[in-house]
Amino acid sequence: MIAAIIRWSARNPFLIGLATIFVTLAGICSVSRVPLDAIPDLSDVQVIVYTEYSGQAPQVVEDQVTYPLTTAMLSVPKSRVVRGFSFFGVSFVYVIFEDGTDLYWARSRVLEYLSSAARRLPAGVAPSLGPDATGVGWVYQYVVRGAQKNLAELRTIQDWYIRYGIAKSEGVAEVATVGGFVKQYGVVIDPRRLQALGIPLAKIREALRSSNMDVGGRTVELAEAEFAVRGRGYIKGVSDLEQIVIKNDRGVPLLLKDVARIELTPDEPCSVSERMRLRSFATSRIGSPRSRRVCRKV
């Protein structure tokens, strides 16, 4: 058989030349159009359910959050494996689907079952879906630096300016920021003062929550003009926190500054990269153009 093919090829050099040219052009066209990448995406079709349960131990998170969500996700159509992981204050549930399942169809099915499973969770716990990207979608990394800028200012620039500019680029599913100082207000309570005044800690928490809101009203017509009436109560600084009334004893208000120290502090870092510098990651979307193209757009 091979000898016959060789003899036929030797007698028809013109046809062999045309076939060679055609195969070469077809190969060049295929290479230019095949969506190849430096790291092929061979991961499974999966949907991540992320839930925060602040201040709770892993065992409590497992019993009250991870287990109800995991058992509910077992009934999702075309789901192959459901894995749950519980950490301090955080729960992750991975729903892995069969090969060939459309990602957005899978996310919509998980969202349907998640709406019913959320009723079994503790009050105030709201699960959410992770980004529509895989573990190999991390395509770009950059460091934010600035002369005469501290880490708090750099984090503010990243969160309010740079992140939104990158997030709107085609193919970017998420911009995850690591590092820097997240500005927050710290209330350092004196337990002895609370004990002496008979004030429970829950009352301090409720006073802080109820004192940081605006109150809507109606309109008042004066001189043929309408004026909107509202109560403005959002906290804008440390001085506003210090003037929060904890309780009123015989007409004498007890302020928050009388039982606590209010200060402007950064959020507690939980990794080496957060302690050292501000670093951000851009994650590409599944089914997006190649990572090089995404990086150029970023």
Q: Which CATH architecture has domain 190-258?
A: 2-Layer Sandwich (3.30)
Answer yes or no: same fold for 46-129 and 138-182+269-297: yes
Domain ranges for the chain, please list them. Answer: 46-129, 138-182+269-297, 190-258
Task: Give 247's strand partners.
Answer: 254
pTM over 0.75: no
Which residues in 67-209 belong to E strands, given as ranges? 79-87, 90-97, 128-129, 138-143, 172-179, 183-189
Q: Which helix (H) or strand (E) holds 191?
A: helix 191-197
46-129 has which CATH code?
3.30.70.1430
> Which CATH homologous superfamily contains domain 138-182+269-297?
Multidrug efflux transporter AcrB pore domain like (3.30.70.1320)
Q: What tens-digit pLDDT sequence spans the chain (298 residues)?
A: 788 877 877 888 888 888 889 989 888 888 777 766 656 667 788 899 999 988 888 999 999 999 999 999 998 998 999 999 999 989 999 999 988 888 889 999 999 998 888 888 888 888 988 887 766 677 778 888 878 888 788 888 888 888 888 888 777 777 878 777 788 888 888 888 888 888 888 888 888 888 888 887 788 888 888 888 888 888 888 888 888 888 887 788 888 888 888 888 777 666 555 544 555 554 544 444 455 565 565 5
